[in-house]
Amino acid sequence: MRRILLCTAAALVALLGTAATPVVGAGVEVERPGLEYVAMGDSFSSAAGVLPLDLRAPLLCQRSLVNYPSLIAEATGAALTDVTCGGATTGNFTTSQYPGVAPQLQALGPTTQLVTMTIGLNDSLMFLRLQAACGSAGLTTLGFGSPCQHRYGTSFADTITTTTYPALVEALRAVRGRAPQAQVAILGIPWILPATGGCFPFMPVARGDVPYLRTIQATLNDAIRRAAEVTGAVYVDFSEISEGHDACQRPADRWIEPALLGTNPIIVHPNARGEAAMAEHTLTVLGLR
C-alpha cells in the first residue's frame, strides 16, 4: 500500500510540475450567456487527474477542463463559475481550503440559478482512511478473507451516520441560504468496486472485503440522498447506471480508475468517461436536455 501511495504522490508531483501558475481565487468564471451555474465540491467534481488541467484554476485543486460541470455548462450554454477543488470537505464551503482560495459558498448569490456538487467523501478523511485501511489490510492477506471488515466493523458506517450526514445537511442548508432561487443538485458517488469479487491487486482490497466496501459506499450515498431530501435539493443517483463501470472493469468500460495500472495519475477517481457519464445523467435528472 505504501508503494501505491508513493507512486500516486510522485505522479501528482509530475502532473503539477507541468502546469503554469494559475489565477488563485474563488473560482474560474466561464463567460457564456444563459443559466447562472455554480459548481461546488471535491475531486469527483473537479475531475482530479483528468487532463487537460484548467490552468486558470488554483493548482492544488486539480481542476480539469473536462470535469462534469464544464460539460454541463457546454451542453446548456450556462455561465459557469467553477469552485470545485480536490480534497474539499463540507467545511470548505465556509472556510478556505488553501491560502488564497475563498470558501466555496462565496461563489453563490441571489441570482444563482443552478448549483451542483459532490461532497462528503473527504469528511473525517473518510475516503483516504478507507483506501489506506482496506488496501493495507488486503495486502497483508494477499487478497484473501475479509481483514478490513474484521478490524473496522461498523466504524466507517457509524462515522457517516453520526458525522457526515449532519454535515451534509448543514452544508446544503447553507447553500440554500446563499442561493435561495437556485436548483441545487448533489450527486451520489458512482460505484467504485463491483458487488463481489474485486480485482486484487489492481484494487488492493481483499476479496471478502469488496461487499463490505460496497456497503460503506451505499451508506454514504444514502446519507447524501437523505440530506438532499430534507433540504429540498435534488439527489442524482448513480447506483443503477454506474453498475458495471467500476474500477475493476476493462478500460473501455470503467468510469473509475483503479489503484494500479490505471490511466489517471490520481488513483481511484473518475476518468474522462466517468465525468462525461456524470454530466449526462445529471442533465437528464435535472431535465436540462
Q: Which three cell numbers stand for residue 245?
A: 463501470
Distance of CA 241 to the CA centre of its chain: 17
Which run of H or of E encompasses 28?
Answer: strand 28-30
Burial class (CB in 10 A: 0-12, 13-18, 19+), 201: middle
From the candidates 46, 146, 269, 281, which is the catalytic residue?
Answer: 269
Q: Is 124 a catalytic residue?
A: no
DSSP secondary-structure letter at 264?
Answer: S
The Cβ of residue 240 has, within 10 Å, a number of other Cβ atoms equal to 8
Q: Which three cell numbers stand for residue 8?
A: 500516486
The rounded distance, in Å, linking the Cα atoms of 110 and 182 is: 8
Q: Is 269 a catalytic residue?
A: yes
Nearest to 209 by CA among 139, 126, 125: 139
Q: Which three cell numbers stand for residue 211?
A: 461487499
The rounded distance, in Å, linking the Cα atoms of 54 and 56 is: 5
Place of cell 474522462: 272
Residues with a known catalytic role: 43, 269
